[in-house]
Structure 1
Amino acid sequence: MNQIDNGTIHYRDELVRKLIHLTSLSIPVIYYFIPRSVAITILAALTVFALALDLARYFHPEIGKIFYKIFGFLLRKHELDHKKKNLNGATYVLISALIGVIIFPKVIFVTAFAILIISDTSAALIGRKFGKNPFLRKSLEGTLAFFISASVVILFTPKLTDSVAEYVIGFTAAFIGAIIENISYGIADDNLSIPISVGFVMWALYLIIFPNLDLILPNVPR
């Protein structure tokens, strides 16, 4: 989210929301050190719990009352729609993480998911505070914040070679991620669209540039 402020939620609430969002950075960090099978088991359990709780707030008033009392100020307008029964962003984060771990090689997932957490946060806070120039569906400032922060992430995430081409892969995916974050507002939840699109772009470029490279991180649990 980096749209020019539409008054849906106050900036302070967005700041709190994104600080909580940053705790999800623990997912790629922990996954780096544990086997894929263990990560899938943990994420599947957490996702089922989050889905059950998220849907229960719509169908069970008592659960909804407690849920909204604790988390209500963090929810956006579309996350409060009892007619459409939309899931909240945190549930999408877990769904996204589970799908990503199942689909992507670890080296790609760690990068793509770190970009989601760090760059989506940067885009939201910069875009909401300083976004003055409309660009596509959101603001130019927020989209630039996404791309710049994602590029920084690329500099520090795991690599398989010492080739400059591998950084080009990352920067290209970061650019695509910035555009997807911008245009996904109102169409799809960017907690899902960003890491999936970044992951597939990276994977496709690895296959094109390094067709014979085994996408397995050395000395890391598989």
Structure 2
Amino acid sequence: MPDPQKHDMHGRHDSGFLPLRRELMRKSLHVLALVIPAAMLLLGKPPSIVIFGGLAFLGIVLDIIRADKAPLNHWIVNFFGSLMRPREKELPQGRVVVNGATWAMLSAFLLVLFFPVQVAAFAFTIFMLGDAAAALAGRRMGRIRLGKSPKTLEGSLAFLATALLISLVFPGIYFWHGAASSMAACIAEAAPLPLDDNLRVPLVAALTMLAVQHL
């Protein structure tokens, strides 16, 4: 049985571990991040490209600068450190580390740039809420590992259930299209791939949705 004190949100043993209270705080930001798909739907494609492209660019620039400017990194860690994972705060030998918020902004930008707004908003929504559900279920109930993956079956089922519920109520999305996209996103979230899941999972969800819509 995995030791919950030695594994992070989804059964992973690495420098990303946060205490449960801080994990709850971090995942609460996923709910607040629903303003992003809401903005996509309300503002439309061109304004969303400009806004999220600008925010992604700003995040990348700050991550690059803080790798060489210790005072800036110190200020960011002091201000946001309670919500950052250790690997996002530690910058050995000036190495650039892209934090989760920057990945999320880059994901939102690429989604709205390459996909219809409805698909982009859906993909981002199921990741934000599904990932939060997976994190909490994995931390509290995760026991069954998915092969060599660091994730747990309980966390992945929570992700899938949340994404399917969203598919039922999301405006302009057929449930079966959403269900296929949710399944693909769940697999992408559980897979031990190197690309950050804030980018990988929403893009897989959007690509699957587009493929299913064109069948």
TM-score, structure 2 as length reference: 0.88
Counterpart of 2:181 in structure 1 is 173
Counterpart of 1:213 in structure 2 is none
Selected match of 1:115 from 126, 134, 145: 126
Counterpart of 2:209 in structure 1 is 202
Counterpart of 2:50 in structure 1 is 41
Partner Cα distance (2:9, 2:156) in 1:
7
Counterpart of 1:159 in structure 2 is 172
Instruction: Confirm whether residue 53 of structure 1 aligns to residue 62 of structure 2.
Output: yes
Larger relative CO (CA 8 A, sep 6+): 1 or 2? 1
Number of aligned residue pairs: give it: 202
How big is the alpha-carbon RMSD for the aligned residues of Structure 1 and Structure 2?
1.7
Counterpart of 2:155 in structure 1 is 142
Report the 3-state secondary structure (helix = DSSP H, G, I; strand = E; otherwise coil) of the residue aligned with 1:135. coil
Q: CA deviation at 1:2?
A: 4.4
Partner Cα distance (1:198, 1:44) in 2:
20
Greater alpha carbon shift after TM alignment, 52-61 vs 2-11? 2-11
Q: Cα deviation per residue 1:99-147 (whole Å; 9 max; x = unaligned)? A: 0000001121111111011101111111111111112411011000000
% identical equivalent positions? 29
For structure 1, the 5+ residue unaligned runs are 161-165, 209-222
Amino acid at match of 1:204: A
Partner Cα distance (2:178, 2:103) in 1:
23
Residues 31, 39 of structure 1: 8 Å contact kept: yes
| Over 3 Å off, 4+ runs | none
Q: CA deviation at 1:52?
A: 1.8
Instruction: Confirm whether residue 20 of structure 1 aligns to residue 29 of structure 2.
Output: yes
Q: Cα deviation per residue 1:47-74 (whole Å; 9 max; x = unaligned)? A: 1221122222211111011011112232
For structure 2, the 5+ residue unaligned runs are 1-7
Residues 88, 99 of structure 2: 8 Å contact kept: yes
TM-score, structure 1 as length reference: 0.85
Instruction: Confirm whether residue 9 of structure 1 aligns to residue 22 of structure 2.
Output: no
Q: Cα deviation per residue 1:77-112 (whole Å; 9 max; x = unaligned)? A: 332342442201100000000000000011211111
